[in-house]
Amino acid sequence: MPPPGADASAFATQREHIMQWFNDLRLRAKLLLSFGVLTAMLGTVGYIGVTNLNLSRAVTQQIVDGEMGAVVAATDILVGLRTVQRDMRQSVLVTGKENATWEPSLGKALAGITDSVTTLDGLLVVPEGKAKLQLVRDALEQWRPTREAVMALAKNDKNDEAIEIMMSPANVAAIAGVNAAVDDLLAFKRQRAKDQSEAADAATAAAANLLIASVLGGVVISLAIAFFLSRRISASMAITNQRLMQLSANCLTGLQRGMVAMSRGDLSVDVVPTTLPLEVQSKDEFGELAQVFNGALTMTKGTIESYSNAQKVIQGVIAESSRLVEAGRNGELDVRGDAKKFDGVFHGLVQGMNDLLEAVVLPMNEASDVLQGMAKGDLTTEMCGEYAGDHDRLKVALNSAIQEMQRTIGLISTNAQTLASSAEELSAVATQMGGNAEETSAQAGVVSQASSQVSKSVQTVAVGTEEMSSSIRDIAKNASEAARVASQAVAAADETNTIVTKLGTSSQEIGQVIKVITSIAQQTNLLALNATIEAARAGEAGKGFAVVANEVKELAKQTAGATEDISRRIEAIRGDTQQAVEAIRNIGGVISQINDIQIAIASAVEEQTATTNEMGRNAAEAARGSEDIASNIVGVAKAAEQTSSGAQNSQQAAQELARMAAELQQLVGKFQFEAGVRHEAPPTRAANGRGRPGARRAA
């Protein structure tokens, strides 16, 4: 309760200040203060107990030293009085030397009585006691004359007189007076001792009660302090524990669940902080604990906010990746991710996907354009973009293949034209050989019909033989020319076959480059898979990037698909090249047949020449017999028939060779391998991420 006249509000304010001061104390100070109060209380209780014990001991000592000493001294007076009376009775019963035996004892008893009186004088301090002692002194003084008279008579062996005085009423009254005075003093001292003992008992009881009250008060105060401190500590610990459990259940567990879900690719878990901060009510350890908890709660909320932001950013990155993948599936390879939406590594990730698309799509598109032009027969284009690594090797290999194909097709075209010209010449020679053979056959018929007139027409036969010899020489010359042309055609066919074979080899090299690109796509797919594995190993936040790696893997698969398309086109070109090789191989076979026929014709011509020479000799010897002439004419006719047949075969071979040359020119005509204009590459992709390097026409 506030003191009388004091303002209740001021008292309450002061009380609040005191409580706040106590709450602000450190827990160590609180415990020290509490135990200090308990120690002070224990000290007070001990002091009270010791004081009361000392007081009780002092009272007891006072009773012992004062009252009991006085009682002892008074008792000693009575004892001395009894000794004196005994010695006096003995002294009157003996005489002479025997009287000397009682004198020391009597003197000692009288001295003891005197000493006891002196002692009582020192012990008695109250006036009533002094008065009682004075009565004893007065009684002793009244008894002294009779006592001394008895002692004097007994000393002089006047025992009867001594007995008479000793038995006199005066002596008896004096002794009774001494006994009465001493008894009165003893009664007084006994009463005083009793009163003091009762007072000591009361003081001891009061001290015991005070000690019990102090102990009980100390126990109550200790319990109150313990209850207050325990209530304060338990309340602070309970609310702190409650908030920590809320923080663990609502924030940390939710954050852990979200991080685990994020590591598994699930970004649908939302974490909402619901834990309330602790109210800081003091500056002690619990206040500091509340501040630490509030700081941890603030950091946890910041972590949750960072998790939510990271979740949104990753969702944005995944959305961009999904958009790029969907665009890639739809064939929209010019779509790029918006890296400006993100910062840091996420910006680098989206920009890296854009750069990867640029690095993969641009050379593939340009190579696709060039190969499409090649598939359409346009060999005047080539890759002109600036690339590095395998893409640059692809560019160099494809351009080299195009240049080699240009040179090969040019040589094939030239050789086809040469082959066509040779076929025309061979056809003309074969026609001329046929005419000569028919003419020879006709002449042989004429000779056969005129064999009966040989003898008459030797000169005519000689002239005919000379003409036939000239014709055969022309045939031999034409056959030699046809053989030379056929040999050139065979050589041209072999060279064409070699060139086309190189073209097939170049196509195979292009196929190897395509395999390198496919290997790059497979390595990109493997790297994406490794990135997924490393993201799973990197920690819980890192596993969320496995989704992005999967999207990169999808892009790698699309790159592999595009590469397979290019490979199929290269295979188509290789198929056409194989057909060209087969056609040229057939042409070479036909030319070889023509060459064989020409050899047969040359052999026939040689035989015809020999026959003609023989005919000349026979003409000179015509006179020796017409049978020999007829026989020779039959041989000439047969040789002419063989020559005619060989000429027909040569003409057929020349026609087949001309047909094949026409087909070869038609195949070569499908390719455009010469151009007068060189087309420069269009500008590279602009800032918006659209456009690609274009193929240029070869110079």
Of the chain, the percentage scoring pLDDT greater than 70 comes to 52
Contact 281, 310 (CB under 8 A): no
Could you tell me how many residues make up the chain? Answer: 699
Of the candidates 417, 698, 476, the one whose C-alpha atom is nearest the C-alpha of residue 608 is 476
**151 near 88, Cβ under 8 Å?**
yes
First to last CA, the chain: 114
Q: How far apart are CA 402 and CA 375, in angstroms?
A: 12
Helix (H) or strand (E) holding 696: strand 696-697
Burial classification of residue 232, based on how many CB atoms lie within 10 Å of its CB (0-12 exposed, 13-18 middle, 19 or more buried): middle
For each of the domains in the chain, give its residue range(s) and CATH number, in order of start.
388-673 (1.10.287)
- Which residue, 381, 492, 369, is CA-closest to 426? 492
Residue 545's H or E segment, with its range, is none
DSSP state of 378: B
For residue 135, what pLDDT is reported? 85
**Phi (first) and psi of residue 590, to 5 degrees:** -60, -45
H helix runs in 247-284, sequence order: 253-263
- Please report the pLDDT score of residue 493 as a whole number: 61
Distance CA 475, CA 685 (A): 71
**DSSP assignment of 16-67, as one string?**
HHHHHHHHHS-HHHHHHHHHHHHHHHHHHHHHHHHHHHHHHHHHHHHIIIII
Least confident of 94-98, 214-218, 326-330, 628-632: 628-632
Tell me the mean pLDDT in the region 107-112: 82
- Rounded CA-CA distance 618/469 in Å is 13
Q: How far apart are CA 318 and CA 340, in angstroms?
A: 15
54 alpha carbon, distance to own chain's centre: 78
DSSP calls for 586-610? HHHHHHHHHHHHHHHHHHHHHHHHH
Query: How large is the angle between the packed helices 458-537 and 546-620, nearest 10 degrees?
Result: 170
- pLDDT, mean of residues 630-647: 61
672 secondary structure, DSSP code: B
Check residue 686 and give its pLDDT: 35
Range with lowest mean pLDDT among 434-438, 451-455, 586-590, 611-615: 451-455
In what helix (H) or strand (E) does residue 382 lie, and over which residues does it extend?
A: strand 381-382
Q: Which residues contact 559 (CB under 8 A, 6 or more apart)?
A: 360, 364, 517, 520, 521, 524
Q: Does the pLDDT of residue 239 top 50, yes or no?
A: yes
Give CA torsion, residues 241, 244, 246, 247, to 10 deg.
180
Q: Is it the case that residue 165 has pLDDT exceeding 70?
A: yes
Cα–Cα distance between 279 and 275 in angstroms, integer? 13
Chain segment 77-88, per-residue pLDDT in tens: 888 888 887 877
Query: Which residues, including other chains, have CB under 8 Å from residue 439's CB and lie 6 or more apart?
Result: 471
pLDDT above 80: residue 230: no
User: Which residues are CB-contacts of 661 (< 8 A; sequence separation ≥ 6)?
Assistant: 416, 417, 419, 420, 423, 587
79 in helix, strand or coil? helix
Plot region of 273 (φ>0 → left; ψ -120 to 50 → alpha; else → beta): beta
* Range among 120-134, 607-621, 683-697 with highest mean pLDDT value: 120-134
* Range 647-667 average pLDDT: 69
Tell me, what's the pLDDT at 659? 78
Q: Which residues contact 594 (CB under 8 A, 6 or more apart)?
A: 426, 482, 486, 489, 650, 653, 654, 657
Q: How far is Cα 83 from Cα 147, in angstroms, rounded to an integer?
A: 13
Given this model, what pLDDT does residue 433 score? 59
- Ramachandran region of residue 389, left (φ > 0), alpha (ψ -120 to 50) or beta? left
The mean pLDDT of 409-424, rounded to a whole number, is 71
Q: 625 phi and psi, to 5 degrees?
A: 160, 135
Across 18-32, 114-128, 465-479, 526-540, the highest mean pLDDT is recorded for: 114-128
What phi and psi, each to the nearest 5 degrees, are found at residue 308?
Answer: -65, -45
Higher pLDDT, 182 or 609: 182
Interior angle at CA 289, CA 288 and CA 290, nearest 5: 90
Per-residue pLDDT, 678: 39
SS3 content of the chain, % helix, strand, coil (to 5): 85, 0, 15
Residue pointed to by tokens 């026989």: 631
Average pLDDT taken over every residue of the chain = 70
Cβ-based burial of 282 (10 A; exposed 0-12, middle 13-18, buried ≥19): buried
Helix axes 458-537, 389-449, angle to 10 degrees: 160
146-166 burial code (b ≥16 CB/10 A, e <16): bbebbbebbeebbbebbbebb
Tens of pLDDT along 63-77?
656 567 777 777 888
- DSSP per-residue codes, 172-183: HHHHHHHHHHHH
| Nearest partner of 635 among 448, 450, 430, judged by Cα | 448
Q: Which residue has the higher pLDDT, 461 or 158?
A: 158
Are 356 and 554 a contacting pair, CB within 8 Å?
no
Q: Tens of pLDDT along 245-287?
A: 766 666 667 667 777 777 777 777 777 766 666 565 556 665 6
pLDDT reading at 682 higher than 50: no
What pLDDT is stored for residue 608 in this prediction?
A: 65
Cα–Cα distance between 500 and 413 in angstroms, integer?
Answer: 11
Q: Do the beta carbons of residue 315 and residue 545 sit within 8 Å?
A: no
- What angle separates helix 102-123 from helix 69-91, to the nearest 10 degrees? 160
Contact indicator for 269, 255 with CB cutoff of 8 Å: no
CA-closest candidate to residue 187, choices 139, 135, 144: 135
* 697, containing H or E segment: strand 696-697
